[in-house]
Structure 1
Amino acid sequence: MVFPERFSDLPAATWPRLRALLDVPTQASETINMTIGEPRHAFPAFVGDILADNLAGFAKYPDNYGTPSLLDAIGGFLGRRYGLDVPNDQILALNGTREGLYNAAMALCREEKNGQPVILTPNPFYQVYAVAARSVGAKPVYVPATVESGHLPDFHALSADMLDRTAIAYVCSPANPQGAVADVDYWRNLIALAEKHDFIIFADECYSEIYRDTPPPGALQTAREMGADPERVLIFHSLSKRSNLPGLRSGFCAGGPQSIARLRMLRAFAGAPLPEPLQAVAAAAWNDEAHVVANRALYHRKYEIADRIFADLEGYHAPQAGFFLWLPVDDGETAAVKLWQETGVRVLPGAYLSQDANGENPGKTYIRVAMVAPEEELQRGLTLIRRCLFG
């Protein structure tokens, strides 16, 4: 079988690559996995009861775009959180935001824009962004998100010719893996740039409800305040992190009426709607804030643990939001192997989340550490990292 050339330069899949790297024995009696960002806090107690009450929904095809109750609940969340009034026909329930981040490029990327279209992605990045770009025949351009740029991509540094070819720009805020937050000025400047060069912003806001003190501002909220083109911004949210429900596979996207209409059209032919009993659970989760506040308090304690252990480490930047640490090392792969062999702690080399660009890989000298374990296990793991790698 011959695969299309456009996929030839995609980064290798993260987890098989990590398994191969760490396929060596460890001398530790206990292992601690701090690689994958899979929340391990308790999900809301009402999930089981609501699921049981709605089992009959498995006997019929689910609503393709989201049940009215689910869309109402999502709209309520957007109103409480961002002061937005978003009608139901400008929201699409997703079978996990990965589906939406990929399919939005399918539905909305132009076939041509001053030649081959460009899709911009932060570097480091969520690999779906790059795969989506290649799938639609666009050129992925990896924009460094480094300490010099505040760990957010500086799209203004790109040439006017590049920006005039840009069809879509992916932005993750709070950022995975660095935990940086795009403030209102960042969003305003990016939206103004998108208006000038006529491209769409895909704002991946999946970590928006896990933060220290100040709620991260939203891209759609800022665009509405600016009076930008209603189609300029599409936002993506998830219950995976907000409600500790990664297995529910429930999220949503919201944006302009034309964008959502095109996404709904694609869903009618190629999408996978969420079963209605799960939509009922999702509606309850979006309607409830108490469990989100409690969840955030647990992460506050984890931030404090990390800050206490790494506060005097040169180059340590305490994450503003999210649940990852982005720790500087000499070489991420070497550090990950050393940690595993000597302590039994598994972390992810930063280069596995990045792409070589202009001869450099911005993640090569970092490791990503997921702070999802219970507090005692997290403290043991972070202490072992500190002692093993930093003395």
Structure 2
Amino acid sequence: MASDRQAPGQPGLARLQPYPFERLRALLAGIEPPSEPAPVPLSIGEPKHPVPASIASALKDGVAESLGRYPASAGLPELREAIAGWLGQRFRLDDTAVDPDRHILPAAGTREALFAVTQALLDPADRPDVFMPNPFYQIYEGAALLAGGRPRMLNTDADSGLPVIEAVSDADWARCGLIYLCSPGNPTGRIIPQAFWQRLFRLQARHGFVIAADECYSELYRDESHPPLGLLQACAAEGRHGFEGCLVFHSLSKRSNVPGLRSGFIAGDARLIQAFRAYRTYQGCALPLHVQKASVAAWSDETHVRANRDAYREKFRRARAILADVAPYREPEAGFYIWLPVPGGDDEAFTRALYAATGITVLPGRYLSRPTADGDPGAGHVRMALVADTAVCEDAMRRIRQFIEQTY
């Protein structure tokens, strides 16, 4: 006789949706793409540019010492100092604006930190709602559910690419414990401007929610003379020098081409950092010392980051030259994704047919979004990650163009 008892685990587990790449595997199951030319995966944002030699060397040199010591959750002082120096220089903050001891906490990449922040700081009994842009990085939704909270989708505006916050009622804001934002955005590549932050700061002052800004794509911008605005920088411009209620999340994965290093940090409001540090002490996710040593080398060098931007800039230039007249799209301000409106409007059908004809894998936009009463802002798009070598990406764009010309 079958048992009616609930499966083991917390209730939020049953509400988790399949991860986008699991859905993609199911969508493409049974399709045999052509073996020549070679398949190209554009579906996942895993950087393929070379790992900087200085980072690899620091990692190797630190292993022997690292293996015999427990790392502290707070991280090495020299790592926090390197991060504070980078933040001050990159976001034009005063020399004393970021205190390495009070405002910074190392993390095992942004994914770990973005998930953990909701577990640590959300009170689901008091303010259960977790707002997030739609489309979005699915970790936000999973974090809300597993913290006992309620995900609330903010559809992105088709023109601005920004989440629409004006239609949210005061009653809804009063139930908001935390809002996730991503700038530059995944998948749109749009940058949140100061005017948006000003509006959100006014709402936060009335309602007291935490702002969690995912800025992992902040260093992959197109215009070298205009780096993307960051949340801490927006705070400083408004006189919020304590970064009240605000946290930013950064990673070396995209900036320095080291996704396997699993290194990043959280920075912002000292009160929130203190609470988050207490949580992570029990969670047990301190960075190994050799990872921290390599991270110091990474945050202390900008040469490889500028070379990284140059490479992405060239790939986007070639992609636009090849695709713009057959599949128009809005040029991203930053990041390494093209958010492509698909001919015919069916993102799943386009993905399957493209893979069958060319061996190129893209990600349907609806796998990055949720349908709402106002529609599904991800449907009708595919996300393409220009992470491979320039020649590989250019070849993929030419195959996509030929596929579109022959099929639509």
Offset at residue 343 of structure 1 (A): 0.6
The 10-residue stretch of structure 1 (170-179 or 42-51) with the greater mean CA deviation from structure 2: 42-51
1:339 aligns with 2:354: yes
TM-score, normalised via structure 2 length: 0.91
What SS class does the counterpart of residue 54 from structure 1 fall into? helix
**CA deviation after TM superposition for structure 1 residue 8, in Å:** 4.0
Identity %: 40
Of 193, 201, 218 in structure 2, the residue corresponding to residue 208 of structure 1 is 218
Name the CA shift for 1:7/1:51 in 2 (closer, same or farther; >3 Å).
closer
User: By how many angstroms is 1:58 displaced?
Assistant: 1.7
Would you say the 8 A contact 2:326–2:404 is kept in 1? no
Matching of residue 25 in structure 1 with residue 28 in structure 2: no
Specify the SS of the correspondent of 1:178. coil
State the SS of the aligned residue for 2:338: strand
SS in 1 for 2:211: strand
Mapping 1:89-168, distance limit 5 Å: 89-113=102-126, 117-148=128-159, 150-168=160-178
**What is the identity, as a one-letter code, of the residue corresponding to 1:221?**
Q
* CA distance in 2: counterparts of 1:57 and 1:123, whole angstroms: 41
Structure-1 residue corresponding to 2:47: 39
Instruction: Determine the structure 2 residue equivalent to 1:186.
Output: 196
Provide the rounded CA distance (Å) in 1 between the counterparts of 2:326 and 2:247: 38
Amino acid at match of 1:134: L
SS at 1:157's partner residue? coil
- 2:115 partner letter: Y
Q: Which amino acid aligns with 1:70?
A: L
* C-alpha distance 4-52 of structure 1, shift in aligned 2 (>3 A): closer
TM-score of the two chains, using structure 1 as the length reference: 0.95
Match of 1:276 in 2: 289
Contiguous gaps of at least 5 residues in structure 2: 1-6
Looking at structure 2, the residues matched to 65 and 363 of structure 1 have their Cα atoms a distance apart, in angstroms, of 38
1:46 partner SS? helix
Q: CA deviation at 1:188?
A: 1.9
> Residues 335 and 389 of structure 1 are in contact (CA less than 8 Å); yes or no, is this contact kept in structure 2?
no
The Cα of 1:292 is off from its aligned counterpart by 0.7
Q: How does 1:81-92 map to 2 (within 5 A)?
A: 81-84=90-93, 85-88=97-100, 89-92=102-105
C-alpha distance in 1 between matches for 2:336 and 2:22: 23
* Structure-2 separation of matches of 1:313 and 1:144: 27
Q: Is this contact kept in 1: 2:20–2:368, CA < 8 A?
A: yes
What is the aligned length?
Answer: 388
CA RMSD of aligned residues (A): 1.6
- State the secondary structure of the residue aligned to 2:53: coil
Is the partner of 1:230 in helix, strand or coil?
A: coil
Stretches of structure 1 lacking an aligned partner (at least 5 in a row): none
Q: Which residue identity is paired with 2:53?
A: A
Quote how far apart the aligned CAs of 1:312 are. Answer: 2.6
Question: 1:48 Cα shift?
Answer: 2.8
2:398 is paired with a residue whose SS is helix
Is 1:310 the counterpart of 2:323? The answer is yes
